[in-house]
């Protein structure tokens, strides 16, 4: 046991030494900042036209390395790059000596606590993460984050040192606190019987009623998700027989076929098709409901709106442009590609597509652009002051008003591409 504790002490002292050397050689202060726009481009160099390394979300924290003119060199998600100074707000600063002292004190304190009692053994091998947590490059609280490990992700534990576990994910290796892990328990008859209780939230509700398609050209899918195979395409006011409802989807029978339609795309009454009459309807977003008076889309843009609404609830993925995950411009590009319209890949690039439209003359299907300095976000206008867009990683594809809050204050312009 003494030998084991001596090894631990040597490892801890080595870590302190490495951290001390690293910070002593630093000639600048360690600062943090938060992104103050909806989406910020982390670029390879301090140049507006430089390669984009990553897309960062509003309120995301980054580590500031140094300031170069109107740019900050920062580290975010383990990637070093550059952000314009107007895209972030610097929050706090500590000197290199303070950083060394703080880290050394934390490591020493951890070591002191752990040596009071014999450390509990944790099985190596397969474990599960109990909550979302950052993977550290070294076993120190303030060490650099590599990636975020998600709750319930299975990892391989290769080593335990002083309350820290060295783990391997599918893509990388690093350290997290041992209390963030739990042993993978084999399923027993008891847990198998309890499992249905955990899935009651997605219980299928058997119904029998007739509803009507309330949007132009919607898809009937083989399964209840926006990535599933399309089995039919229905025009507005088509009558469908709903036989079950589950998790925001309706299982339907129509024209001898069975499939699934988002429940928000069905109504109890037929829609008024005259272009001169506006029809209020309710947009159902994933895990939340927002009521908004929205006119039925008309003209060529209405087909794009109907397609876009089918992906409400899809995930937000940086650089994504498929139903498995979208970013803002990837979403608009994908939607319009389905209708034979090619768009530039970035939000700023799409501002050169189509023709300019005054805000007072917006029509469903128009692209709407936003940004504090330049354009960094784009959505599809659906009418009634609302747009559908890939918002951010926490909200995914959803709908929002453009007439209040961030989008109202940072509206740049609109383009008509159909």
Identify whether 109 is part of a domain.
no
Residues 73 and 146 grouped into a single domain: no
Residues 297 and 398 grouped into a single domain: yes
**Domain termination site, one of 225, 253, 271:** 271
Residues in the chain: 418
Contact 216, 194 (CB under 8 A): no
CATH of the domain at 134: 2.30.30.40
Helix, strand, or coil (residue 168): strand
Residue 184 has a pLDDT of 63
How far apart are the C-alpha atoms of 307 and 300, rounded to whole Å?
12
**Domain termination site, one of 183, 216, 232:** 183
Identify whether 385 is part of a domain.
yes
Residues 259 and 329 grouped into a single domain: no
Residues 132 and 166 grouped into a single domain: yes
Identify whether 110 is part of a domain.
no
Residues 157 and 248 grouped into a single domain: no
Residues 391 and 290 grouped into a single domain: yes
Contact 151, 176 (CB under 8 A): no
How far apart are the C-alpha atoms of 147 and 124, rounded to whole Å?
21
Residues 298 and 410 grouped into a single domain: yes
What is the domain extent for residue 322?
277-418
Residues 349 and 414 grouped into a single domain: yes
CA distances (Å), 386 to each of 300, 380, 382, 413, in order? 18, 9, 6, 15
CA distances (Å), 175 to each of 67, 135, 142, 160, 414, in order? 30, 6, 12, 9, 47
Contact 361, 416 (CB under 8 A): no
SS (H, E, C) 302-318: HHHHHHHHCCCCCCECC
Residues 309 and 408 grouped into a single domain: yes
163-197: buried (b, 16+ CB within 10 Å) or exposed (e) per residue? bbbbbebeeeebbbebebbeeeeeeeeeeeeeeee
Tally of structural domains, the chain: 4
Identify whether 148 is part of a domain.
yes
| pTM score | 0.39
Contact 83, 42 (CB under 8 A): yes
Residues 335 and 412 grouped into a single domain: yes
How far apart are the C-alpha atoms of 274 and 387, rounded to whole Å?
22
Identify whether 113 is part of a domain.
no
- List the chain pLDDT tens, one digit each, 418 residues: 545 555 655 656 665 555 555 444 443 345 788 988 878 888 899 888 888 888 888 888 888 888 888 889 989 888 999 999 888 888 755 444 444 445 445 544 544 444 333 344 456 788 888 888 888 888 777 778 888 888 888 888 888 887 888 888 877 888 888 888 887 655 444 344 444 444 444 567 777 889 988 776 678 888 887 777 888 888 878 899 999 988 778 899 988 889 998 887 888 888 775 443 333 333 333 333 333 333 334 467 888 999 999 999 999 998 899 999 999 999 999 999 988 899 999 999 999 999 999 999 999 999 999 998 889 999 999 999 999 999 998 889 999 999 988 899 999 999 999 8
How far apart are the C-alpha atoms of 304 and 301, rounded to whole Å?
5
Residues 383 and 304 grouped into a single domain: yes
CA distances (Å), 59 to each of 62, 90, 394, in order? 9, 11, 12
Residue 353 has a pLDDT of 92
Identify whether 35 is part of a domain.
yes
How far apart are the C-alpha atoms of 388 and 395, rounded to whole Å?
12
Helix (H) or strand (E) holding 241: strand 239-246
Residue 416 has a pLDDT of 94
Identify whether 192 is part of a domain.
no
Residues 12 and 39 grouped into a single domain: yes
Residue 359, φ and ψ in degrees, nearest 5 = -60, -35
Enter the DSSP assignment of 293: -
Identify whether 195 is part of a domain.
no
How far apart are the C-alpha atoms of 44 and 35, rounded to whole Å?
17
Contact 238, 250 (CB under 8 A): no
CA distances (Å), 166 to each of 79, 146, 346, 384, in order? 21, 13, 39, 53
Residue closest to 209 by CA, chosen among 241, 184, 177:
241
**Domain termination site, one of 132, 151, 183:** 183
- Active-site residue set: 328, 377, 389
Residue 11 has a pLDDT of 59
Residue 156, φ and ψ in degrees, nearest 5 = -105, 120
327-366: buried (b, 16+ CB within 10 Å) or exposed (e) per residue? bbbbbbbbbbeeeebebeebbbebbebbeebeeeebbbbb
Residue 197 has a pLDDT of 41
């Amino acid at each position: 046991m003494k030998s084991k504790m001596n090894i631990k002490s040597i490892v801890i002292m080595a870590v302190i030494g490495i951290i001390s050397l690293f910070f002593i050689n630093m000639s600048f202060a360690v600062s943090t900042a938060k992104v103050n726009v909806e989406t910020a481009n982390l670029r390879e160099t301090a140049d507006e036209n430089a390669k984009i390394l990553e897309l960062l979300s509003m309120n995301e924290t980054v580590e500031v390395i140094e300031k170069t003119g109107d740019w900050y060199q920062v580290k975010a998600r383990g990637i070093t790059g550059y952000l314009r100074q107007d895209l972030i707000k610097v929050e706090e600063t500590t000197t290199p000596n303070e950083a060394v002292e703080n880290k050394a004190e934390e490591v020493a304190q951890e070591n002191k606590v752990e040596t009071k009692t014999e450390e509990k053994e944790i099985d190596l091998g397969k474990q599960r993460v109990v909550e979302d947590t950052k993977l550290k490059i070294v076993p120190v609280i303030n060490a650099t984050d590599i990636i975020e490990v998600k709750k319930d992700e299975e990892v391989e534990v290769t080593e335990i040192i002083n309350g820290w576990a060295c783990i391997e994910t599918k893509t990388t290796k690093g350290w997290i606190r041992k209390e963030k892990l739990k042993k993978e328990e084999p399923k027993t008859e008891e847990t198998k019987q309890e499992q249905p209780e955990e899935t009651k939230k997605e219980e299928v509700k058997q119904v029998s009623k007739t509803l009507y398609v309330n949007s132009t050209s919607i898809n009937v899918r083989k399964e209840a998700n926006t990535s599933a195979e399309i089995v039919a395409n229905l025009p507005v006011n088509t009558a469908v027989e709903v036989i079950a409802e589950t998790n925001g989807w309706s299982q339907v029978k129509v024209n001898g076929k069975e499939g699934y339609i988002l429940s928000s795309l069905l109504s109890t009454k037929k829609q008024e098709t005259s272009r001169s009459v506006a029809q209020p309807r309710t947009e159902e977003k994933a895990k939340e409901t927002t009521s908004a008076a929205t006119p039925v889309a008309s003209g060529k843009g209405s087909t794009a709106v109907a397609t876009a609404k089918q992906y409400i609830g899809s995930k937000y993925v940086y650089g994504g442009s498929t139903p498995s995950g979208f970013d803002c411009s990837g979403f608009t590009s994908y939607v319009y590609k389905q209708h034979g319209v090619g768009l530039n890949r970035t939000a700023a690039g799409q501002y050169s597509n189509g023709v300019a439209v005054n805000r007072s003359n917006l029509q469903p299907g128009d692209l709407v652009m936003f940004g504090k300095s330049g354009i960094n976000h784009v959505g599809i206008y659906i009418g009634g002051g609302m747009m559908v867009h890939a918002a951010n990683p926490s909200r995914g594809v959803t709908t929002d008003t453009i007439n209040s809050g961030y989008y109202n204050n940072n509206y740049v312009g609109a383009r008509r591409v159909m």
